[in-house]
Amino acid sequence: MTIAIRARVYAGVVLAADSAGTLSGRNGSPEKIYYNSSKVFELREGLPIGAVTWGLGSFGPLSIAAMISPIGALLAPGAQYAVDPNNYTVEEVADSVRDFLEHNYGVAHRRSRRKRPGFYLLIAGYSSGQYESDEWLIEIDETGRCLDLRRPRERNDYGVISFAENWATDLLVNGYSEYLLTPVAQRVRIAKGKVEALVVAFEQISRRINPVRPEMPIRDAIELVSFLANVECGYSRFIPNQPAPTVGGPIEVLAITPTDGLRWIHRTNHFRSLGG
């Protein structure tokens, strides 16, 4: 599982994720959890565009990090999905990445019809010459169908969004968690339509207490995202009836601004000296 977080303010965008990677058995239960998976990416050196992933952790035998790593070369001048650094949009880059991933997902799983977890990749950053960030979500559903690109929120929406295993961050930021609200509503027999109305009311009220203001300095957005990711990791560690944390390990944080471009705040060095 994963905690993936995006904070968007006028000054820039911050992406973060933990590094837990879960291998599941045929019944869907975790068989092994590793804590050094990469989920935050720089798509191409020199472009102020990053990405964060959650959901399915591999295409066949290849990790998502291994799938993403060739994209930088494919976006380079003269390559298949060449990007002119002086004339491009985030949507165009996201569309190229979607095409690449859709093809490789099909190659990896063409002989299997079993359902898998959905795959999600949020691409965020700045189009050439723009000072307002943009973002697009790539999604492959449980049946293997690659959906159309979409924005996770409205174009003018600023704030923080958490994805995947986000029990604690949802409670902190929104005042409720869908993981709790739906079963509670079912237990007290609240009609489905009223549950949906409750969610809308929560979202409207939570915007007043949302910790992210559009005017927030990028440094504060970075610190908030790091805090929320650490809270979710701690919650996963101590939650009962869970033999091992499915959210955890080092947290990677990437900040993107129109003036400074892409900057790693926390990045795991997988090849650092291990001593001995």
Task: Extract the tokens encoding 122.
Answer: 């949020």
Tell me how far the alpha carbon of residue 36 is from its chain's centroid: 16
Characterize 249-273 residue by residue with b for buried, 16 or more Cβ atoms within 10 angstroms of its Cβ, and e for exposed: bbbbbbbbbbeebbbebeebeeeee
| Domains of the chain, residue spans | 3-165+212-266
Predicted pLDDT at 186: 83
CA 128/CA 76 separation, integer angstroms: 15
Residue type, 178: E
Summarize pLDDT for 108-150 with one digit per residue, the tens.
887 666 778 899 999 999 999 999 999 999 999 998 999 999 9
Give the number of other CB atoms < 10 A from CB of residue 56.
16
Low-confidence ranges of the chain (pLDDT < 70): 25-29, 111-113, 272-276
Task: Extract the tokens encoding 50.
Answer: 């990053």
Of 230, 102, 116, the C-alpha closest to 162 is 230
Task: Extract the tokens encoding 88.
Answer: 């491009």
Please give the CATH superfamily to which domain 3-165+212-266 belongs.
Aminohydrolase, N-terminal nucleophile (Ntn) domain (3.60.20.10)
Predicted pLDDT at 274: 60
What are the helix and strand counts (H, E) for the chain?
7, 13
Summarize pLDDT for 3-26 with one digit per residue, the tens.
999 999 999 999 999 999 888 766
Of 61, 67, 55, the C-alpha closest to 22 is 55
